[in-house]
Structure 1
């Protein structure tokens, strides 16, 4: 790999900017100053430093974020806070992006990465990756609702949802509320809210708690994030 690509991949600037860093003799490889941006490095064996600080090469980054409400699922916005605004300066990279989206008022599990291939696999309609949501509903969910959702619910605009799974966890008849979990295999626009509305009820609170085999870390506070472990990345990849 060329030295300028190595540095650019590690987000130390554009190819043009890192070429200047190298030209200014600020970069060493195996303790030798390198002034050529075309210099070939082995990203797995060679020791590369910038201004004396070692740079460990990592091609892909994977984060689990517990998204809070009032933050939009986007990389940049001129008016509202985005999920990437939650990242520290140390962890932020210009190539990070969220896998899929959660509505502004929805909380929970969101994967942030720079691995486009993994994102495509997770979002591909052909793969039907499960997504599980914790939902507080205004209204009493019933066994009839379970059956209707399992058959494939017809929502507004005549759309038919794929068969899904509804699990009723709690019923509070005094408050006229239900706590349920909904497992989907697709991602239509506002799907959970539209499905619940089609059943004559309303979503009060919505949180994604699982994507594929990866569950939200219960110790991760709202607005916090952490890197995924190798085992967790394998879970997302279905390995």
Structure 2
């Protein structure tokens, strides 16, 4: 069968699994025969099943398998001082200084303020970006914040209960003290808010202004050992979980 016919009539499921790096074609056939593969919520056991990698939802042992796609999904550890923009009108360093290395037009999902470093997702998949940024999907984001002063257990409970800012209430999903220093506290804060400078404004309201802020996770995607200014592609597992989170 020609490549054109392959795309017109769909692609054999075992080929799609092999292209996704799950297993060889022969091993993929065994996965199918064992009833471990689902397509659009139904177990598939026939070897001749054809699928559309762009639209069909494929799972192996319950885990979403992102098939080969025409889009790119990457993460950047945005350095402090870099503007979350593709073109800064003031001539400051922006994301294009890093994205241009890929020779692909990408755009960022959400923002980090200039003084905040850490994880930011870049893609050329517009629907994915729209959903990931939309508040209705409540994708959690985790930050490490160094704040001025000692955060007492009483204040920690107040933070966990939330506060109303000028643009509405904010309540973290989780807050914990990681370390207490001489005149500062290191906090880990998880919330699904995407409002501008929400962590900084929240901590300012509690009397503990942020001295340093790093986003270390977006949903299942972790910063890990990625250094400031470095980029990497999302892993298949990360992308599969994100696609589930945003209903794609």
TM-score of the aligned structures, taking structure 2 as reference length: 0.68
SS in structure 2 of the partner of residue 237 of structure 1 = helix
Correspondence 1:125-204 to 2 at 5 A: 125-155=135-165, 157=166, 159-172=168-181, 175-204=182-211
Match of 1:80 among 71, 74, 92: 92
Structure 1 runs (4+) greater than 6 angstroms displaced: none
Mapped partners of 1:105, 1:234: distance in 2: 31
Q: Any conservation in 2 of the 1:149–1:164 contact (CA below 8 Å)?
A: no
Q: Any conservation in 1 of the 2:78–2:119 contact (CA below 8 Å)?
A: yes
Q: Any conservation in 2 of the 1:106–1:207 contact (CA below 8 Å)?
A: yes
Tell me the number of residue pairs that the alignment of Structure 1 and Structure 2 aligns: 186
SS in structure 1 of the partner of residue 157 of structure 2 = helix
Tell me the equivalent position of 2:237: 231
Q: Does 1:70 align with 2:78?
A: no
Q: Any conservation in 2 of the 1:67–1:222 contact (CA below 8 Å)?
A: yes
Q: Any conservation in 2 of the 1:75–1:82 contact (CA below 8 Å)?
A: yes
Q: Any conservation in 2 of the 1:135–1:204 contact (CA below 8 Å)?
A: yes
Mapped partners of 1:162, 1:61: distance in 2: 33
Q: Does 1:220 align with 2:226?
A: yes
Q: Any conservation in 2 of the 1:68–1:223 contact (CA below 8 Å)?
A: yes
TM-score of the aligned structures, taking structure 1 as reference length: 0.70
Tell me the equivalent position of 1:11: none
The CA RMSD over aligned residues, in Å, is 2.6
Correspondence 1:42-57 to 2 at 5 A: 42=7
Q: Does 1:93 align with 2:104?
A: yes
Max Rg structure? 1
The runs of 5 or more residues in structure 2 that have no matched partner are 12-67
